[in-house]
A = this chain, B = another copy of it.
Amino acid sequence: MKEEGMKRIQAWQNEMKAYQLALTTMAYDRLTVAPESGIEYYSEQAAYLSGVLYSIQTDTQIENVLHALKDEDLNAEQKRMVELHLKDFDRLKRIPKEDYVSYQKLAQISEKKWEEARAKKDYSVFEPYLLQIIETQKKFCALRDSDKAPYDLLLDDYEEGMNQEKYDAFFALIKEKLLPLIHEIAMKQDAVRTDFLQGLWDIEKQKQMMKVLQKYLNFDPSWGYMGISAHPFTSCFSHNDVRITNAYHEDLLLSSIFSLIHETGHAVYEHQIPESYEGTVLCNVSMGIHESQSRMYENNLGRRMSFWNRNYDQLAALYPEQLKDIDQKTFVRAVNSAKPSLIRTEADELTYPVHILIRYEIEKGIFDGTVDCSRLEEVWNEKMKEYLGVDVPDASKGILQDVHWSDGSFGYFPTYALGSAYAAQFIHAMQKDMDIDKALSFADMESIQKWQKERIHCYGASIPSLQIIKNATGEAFNPQYYIDYLYNKYRDLYQIK
C-alpha cells in the first residue's frame, strides 16, 4: 500500500513538474525578451496550461492516496511531502476550475493594466482591476475556509506558521524602535556623504561590474544565467538552471549592483537545495527564508566594508572620473546611508521595513474591512506621510510602484521584512562559527556558502521555516537581533548618542 501510494505520488509529481517548467519558462521569457504584442496570445496559452495543471493539482484520487499515506509508516521526508501536498489541496480544491482559470486571465490583464496605469501615473486606470482582484481573493478565501480570517490564510500561504497576531507583534517592534531613529536620521543627513552618487553611470560599464561581482559571488554560468527585465527577479527552472534578472538605469549606480547581489542570494539558495528534492514539493521553500538569503547577501554582506575590499578598486577603475576622490570607506558609508524615500525597491536597509509595514497595514485593512477600498490611493499616501514624512507626488511613485497586488499576491510583502529579520539572526550565528570579514576580504564566498548550505539550504522545505531558524542558530526566531543590528549600525553611522 505504502510503496504503491508513494509510486502514484511520484508519477503525479512528474506530471506536474513538466507543466511547472513550461509555465516557468514561458513566464521568464515573457518578462525578459518577449515582444510586447505577442503577450495576448501567450497569456491565453499560459492560462490554458495553468488550467491543465490545476486539474492535476486537484485530482481527488490523488488526494485520497495522500490521506491514506498519512497513516502509513513514512520517514520524515515522506511525511512532510504528504503534509505539504495536502496543504496545497486545501488551498486549491474548493476553487472551481473555471474560476481558477478566469482568475489567471484576470491576473494577466490586471498586470498589463497596472503597467499602463504606472506609465500614465494614473491609479484610476488600474483601480477597477485591483478591486476585482481583491473581491476574487476574498471569495477564494471564503471558499477555502470561512472560519479563518482571510488574511491569516494568505499570510500562511507565503510563510507557513505566520498570522496577523505574530506579524502585529513584529511590526510593533519596528514601529517602536526604528521609527524614532529614522526620524532622527532624517534630520542628520549631513553626517554621511552621498553627493557623488548623482550623475550618469555608463550601462556597459555597469555590465562589466556585474561580471566582477558574479565571479566574486560564485554565480556560475554552468548553472545560472542573468537576463534583463524591467524589475529584477529570480526564477528556478531546476537544480542546475537558476535564472536571475537585472535592470540597468544610467542614473543609478547602486541599483544594478545591489540587485545582482540580492538575486544571487536567492539563486545560491535554489542551487544549494539538495538535488534529490528537484522537482518536488520539498523545493518549495519558505518565502521568508528565501528573502533572508537575498537580503543577507544584499545588506548584511554586500554593504559591509570587507565585501568591498576586493571589489571597490575594480568599480573605481571602471568610473575613474566619477570616483576619483572617493575612497572605499566613503563609498561604503554612502551605500549604507539612510533617508526616508518613496520607492521600496530603492529604499535603504533602515527605512525598508517601514515600506513593508505600510503595505502590511493596508493589506490587513483590506481583508478585515477597516480600510475603505475606494480610498486605497489616499490611504497609501497618508501612511507614507505619517510614517516616513514624505509626500507622494504621483501614483507611479506611490501605490502603483509594486507589481504584487496586480496579480493578487496579498500576504507576500510581509515576508520581505521577516526575511531581513531572519537574516540578522543567521548572520549573528554565522559570525560565531567563522570570520565573515576574513572570508569576504579573501573573496572566499565558498566558506560562507558552505555554512549556508549546511545550516539552511540543506533542508529545502523538509522542515518548517521556524524550525530551520532553530536548527541553524540554536534558538527560536528572535526579531531583537534585527532591531539591535539596525539600531546599533545606524546610531553609529549617523553619530547619534
The interface-forming segment of A220-228, A258-266, A291-299, A424-432 is: A220-228
Which residue of the partner chain, among B38, B44, B49, B241, contacts A42 with CB atoms under 8 Å? Answer: B241
Residue pair B45, A21 in contact (C-beta under 8 Å):
yes
From A204, which residue of chain B is reached at the shortest CB distance?
B204
Residue pair B33, A227 in contact (C-beta under 8 Å):
yes
Residue pair B41, A22 in contact (C-beta under 8 Å):
no
Residue pair B26, A21 in contact (C-beta under 8 Å):
yes
Residue pair A240, B35 in contact (C-beta under 8 Å):
yes
Which residue of the partner chain, among B15, B23, B38, B237, contacts A38 with CB atoms under 8 Å? Answer: B237
Q: How many copies does the complex hold?
A: 2
B-chain residues with CB within 8 Å of residue A455 when the two chains form the complex: none
* Min C-beta distance of A267 to chain B, whole Å: 11
Which residue of the partner chain, among B33, B46, B49, B241, contacts A41 with CB atoms under 8 Å? Answer: B241
Residue pair B224, A41 in contact (C-beta under 8 Å):
no
A367 within 8 A of B: no
A276 within 8 A of B: no
Residue pair B37, A241 in contact (C-beta under 8 Å):
yes
A476 within 8 A of B: no
A41, B19: Cα distance in complex, Å: 13
B-chain residues with CB within 8 Å of residue A223 when the two chains form the complex: 35, 37-38
Residue pair B29, A28 in contact (C-beta under 8 Å):
yes
Known: A18-B49, A29-B29, A33-B227. A41 touches B222 (CB 8 A): no
A91, B392: Cα distance in complex, Å: 63
A238, B23: Cα distance in complex, Å: 17
A15, B55: Cα distance in complex, Å: 15
A5 within 8 A of B: no
* Min C-beta distance of A261 to chain B, whole Å: 20
Query: What is the interface of chain A, defined by CB distance below 8 A to chain B?
Result: 14-15, 17-19, 21-23, 25-26, 28-29, 33-38, 40-42, 44-46, 48-49, 52, 221-225, 227, 237-243, 278-279
